[in-house]
Amino acid sequence: MCGIVGYIGSRSAADVLIQGLKHLEYRGYDSAGIALFIKNQIVIEKSEGRLGNIEKIFRDKRVPLYSSCGIGHTRWATHGKPTTKNAHPHKTGHVVLVHNGIIENYLEIKKELILKGHTPQSETDSELFGFLVLDEMELGASLVTAVRRSFSKLLGQCSVVVMSEREPEKIVGVRNGSPLVVVRDPEGGVVIASDAQPLLPFSREVIFLEHGDLVIATHEGMQVIELESGLEVERKPLSLEWSIEQMDKGGFPHYMLKEIYEQPGVITHTLNQILDRNQKNPFSLFPQPGVNLLNQAQELCLVACGTSWHAALLGKYWIERWSGIPVNVELASEFRYRDPVVRSGTLVIGVSQSGETADTLAVLREMRVRRVPTLGVSNVRGSSIAREADAVFFTSAGPEVGVAATKTFMAQILVMLVFAGYLGFKQKKKSNLEIAQLFNELVKIPHLLSQELEEGSEMLKQIRVTVQNLSHSKGFFFIGRGYSYPLALEGALKLKEIAYDYAEGYAAGELKHGPIAMIDQGMVVVVLAPRDSWRDKTVSNLEEVKARGAMIVGIGDSDDYDLKNLCDDWIPLPSENRSIDAGLLSFILAPVVQLFSYYRAVQKGTDVDKPRNLAKSVTVE
Ligand code: M6R
């Protein structure tokens, strides 16, 4: 989604804004722009396409544009095409703004503005806010008052950052839903952004503005007031653990590949952060409000989108098996609009790596109104879901820059398994010995993952060979049963996201209920069939597609020769996997489907880390 950076201080604002926007590129965008105060006038440079276009504009200027105050934006088009005209910042008279989110009543506002004689230049909802501010200032209001009054006319969740030539060297930002974070630059000045990553080079003491906060940044410092009352409020900084080094590719050609390779460490860190190892239950969680919520839950409802939904689905399988507690898994975008029945005793858990996904957040808010307890599972401290749920468990995956979720998925499924073990011990559905065995198996996973990812492993070699053979495939089905089914869905999603291949994930048993009609020689069926209790049934389904001429790629145990013989291409899981419970093979399958998509995307030459049309955190419906 859109990214915002604002800076006022003693450094070159153009440099800070461009570097800051680069940190936000991962969020997805289609145009970019910056606005700088130069001798009390605001100069704007913007362009469709990549940020590099803006850098070029600056390079091409003979005289460097020196400025100590400005705002920048990367736009992910919602209202109006991704053109230079629709790119932010928008200038209306002396008012300049950038915006993230949606103004829901923009049509009414637009009609009123046109009746007043204004002529919007772009197709965006964002630009309209500038006219509102301009009109208020023409009536004599200060910039802050004009922004406050104008904001009260908006419906929807959004944040804006505004400057005016009438009040030079001042930035005013409002957070209303979409995040806005602020740090003090130790060299003097203030940096504002739509997420914490551009701020890390300046300070790790980050202030996450609250919903309904307005920040005023000047060379003297910053002040936060409540949008509605205008009263000053104190907002304490949160100390972020993430370091700027983690934002680096670390020698890998893409962030996505680096993040896939970070997965063993993600498991270890997340376990260390949430498990209290001094208790009888090996899955004991460190005391925190979320533990009480889990203890009281008679039923769970997991709500999520995309990859997080796949993690939640796997969570359902594990939690029900180990604890006997009923679990529903819901797509947030559907759940929120269908008058769902939520029985008393239900704990609603929002699973979201970013903690900002609009639909998931909306469900948690709705549940709060209904007095249903809510829990968040998020990778981002200070995120909206982390702050608005009754309690939160954090995954410790570190910053994920690649748009396609990989290591955060790994961390989410880990938390799901920990919930299963924790609740299983508590519910006594399984013996303590079985729970202890599950834990002993789980702690082997980081080591097994490291071996799996080692250069030279048979798995890696075969993924690369398989991808070479795929060049003319017209579409893919990923199939699996049981714990492999959510992984099949995830494999297909990854391939769609980064390689732009037509791909479907299916429960293997469902193929013959319709999709098998699509199977012919141009289709590839990727079958996930590790040695578990579902393997034989999956192999029968495979026979059905083989009979119809599809190319078959098998992913299974290295010594499963029967399966291997049925397949055209074969990706063996590392033989060391035999030492873990079949119920945990999802952890080992995840990197296989991720790398399969990664190498396919590299083969096709797509933009792996910033795939087209996608955003890292989806802050609009
Ligand atoms: O931040 P979230 O986990 O809530 O995001 C949910 C989805 O938007 C996200 O998983 C999306 O599907 C990713 N692009 C997956 O790679």
Report the nearest atom of ligand 1 relative to the CA of 354: 1
pLDDT at 63: 53
> Considering the chain, what percentage of its residues have pLDDT values greater than 70?
98
What would the 3-class secondary structure string for 82-128 be? Answer: CCCCCCCCEEECCEEEEEEECCCCHHHHHHHHHHCCCCCCCCCCHHH
If you take atom 12 of ligand 1, which residue's CA is the nearest one? 306
Q: What is the pLDDT of residue 416?
A: 97
Distance (angstroms) between ligand 1 centre and the Cα of 304 equals: 9
Tell me the chain's radius of gyration from C-alpha atoms: 26
Atom 5 (ligand 1) nearest CA: 352
Name the catalytic one among 258, 407, 494, 616.
Answer: 616
The answer, yes or no, to whether the previous bond of 186 is cis (omega within 30 of 0) is no
Write out residues with Cβ below 6 Å of ligand 1: 305-308, 352-354, 357, 360, 403-405, 497, 614, 617-618
| pLDDT tens string 599-619 | 999 999 999 988 887 777 776
CA of residue 27 to ligand 1 center, whole Å: 11
pLDDT at 620 over 70: no
Left (φ > 0), alpha (ψ -120 to 50) or beta: where does 133 sit?
alpha
Q: How far is the CA of 135 from the centre of ligand 1 (A)?
A: 39
According to DSSP, the β-strands at 551-557 and 569-573 are parallel
pLDDT at 101: 86
Determine the CATH number of domain 3-246. Answer: 3.60.20.10
| Distance (Å, whole) CA 182 – CA 198 | 10
Distance from CA of residue 343 to its chain's centroid? 29
- Using an 8 Å Cβ cutoff, are 457 and 573 in contact? no
Residue with tokens 């996505």: 256
**Probe ligand 1: pick from 76, 305, 378, 400, max atoms within 8 Å of CB?**
305
For residue 456, give the 3-state DSSP assignment.
coil
Looking at 3.40.50.10490, 3.30.470.20, 3.40.140.10, 3.30.70.120, the CATH number of the domain 248-443 comes to 3.40.50.10490
The pLDDT of residue 482 is above 90: yes
User: Whose alpha carbon is nearest atom 11 of ligand 1?
Assistant: 306
529 close to 554: Cβ distance less than 8 angstroms: yes
Q: Identify the active-site residue in 2, 69, 305, 567.
A: 2
* Residue of 351, 354, 383, 408 to test ligand 1 pocket, by largest number of atoms within 8 Å of CB: 354
pLDDT of residue 211: 87
Q: 492 CB contacts (<8 Å, ≥6 apart)?
A: 476, 477, 478, 503, 504, 505
Atom in ligand 1 nearest the alpha carbon of residue 408? 3
Given this model, what pLDDT does residue 315 score? Answer: 97
The number of the ligand 1 atom at minimal distance from the alpha carbon of 353 is: 3
Q: How far is the CA of 184 from the centre of ligand 1 (A)?
A: 31
Mean of all residue pLDDT scores within the chain: 91
How far does the centroid of ligand 1 lie from the alpha carbon of residue 411, in Å?
Answer: 13
260 by DSSP, 3-state: which? Answer: helix
Sheet holding 95-101, edge to edge: 90-92, 95-101, 158-164, 171-176, 213-218, 221-226
Mean pLDDT of 203-223: 93
3-state secondary structure of 480: strand
Atom 4, ligand 1: which residue's CA is nearest?
352
The number of the ligand 1 atom at minimal distance from the alpha carbon of 405 is 16
Pocket test for ligand 1, best of 1, 357, 413 (most atoms within 8 A of CB): 357
Tally the C-alpha atoms within 13 A of residue 397's C-alpha that lie toward its C-beta: 30
* CA-wise closest residue to 250 among 470, 398, 64: 398
Query: Could you report the per-residue pLDDT of 308-346, keeping only the tens digit for each?
Result: 999 999 999 999 999 999 999 999 999 988 888 999 999
Same topology for domains 3-246 and 454-609, yes or no?
Answer: no
Spell out the domain ranges in the chain: 3-246, 248-443, 454-609
Tokens 């549940």 label which residue?
367
> What is the per-residue pLDDT for 64?
60
The CA 12 to ligand 1 mean position distance, Å, reads 35
CA distance 122 to 74: 16
pLDDT tens, residue by residue, 399-437:
888 889 999 999 999 999 999 999 999 998 899 999 999
Q: What is the pLDDT of residue 26?
A: 72
C-alpha count within 13 angstroms, C-beta hemisphere, residue 229: 6
Distance in Å, CA 307 to ligand 1 centroid: 5
pLDDT at 226: 94
| Residue among 293, 285, 302, 416 at smallest CA distance from 345 | 293
Q: Looking at this protein, which amino acid is placed at residue 135?
A: D
Q: Which of 329, 352, 356 to mutate to test the pocket of ligand 1 (most atoms within 8 A of CB)?
A: 352
- Tens of pLDDT along 547-578? 788 899 999 998 899 999 999 999 999 877 66
Least confident of 174-178, 258-262, 552-556: 174-178
Give the pLDDT confidence score for residue 28 in this predicted structure.
72
* Span from the CA of 28 to the centroid of ligand 1 (angstroms): 12
Q: What is the pLDDT of residue 515?
A: 82
Residue 129, pLDDT above cutoff 60: yes
Catalytic, 2? Answer yes
Ligand 1 atom, smallest distance to 360 CA: 4
Residue 245 pLDDT greater than 70, yes or no: no
pLDDT of residue 367 exceeding 90 = yes
- Give me the mean pLDDT over the 241-263 stretch: 83
The yes-or-no verdict on residue 77 having pLDDT over 90 is no
State pTM to two decimals.
0.78
Give the residue carrying structure tokens 């008679």. 298
* Whether the predicted pLDDT of 133 surpasses 70: yes
Q: Is the pLDDT of residue 290 over 80?
A: yes
Strands, sheet with 374-378, edge to edge from the N-terminal-most edge strand: 327-331, 299-304, 346-352, 374-378, 391-394
Considering the four listed CATH numbers 3.40.50.10490, 3.10.20.30, 3.40.50.1580, 3.40.50.150, the one that applies to the domain covering 454-609 is 3.40.50.10490
Active site residue 616: yes
Note the pLDDT of residue 577. 67
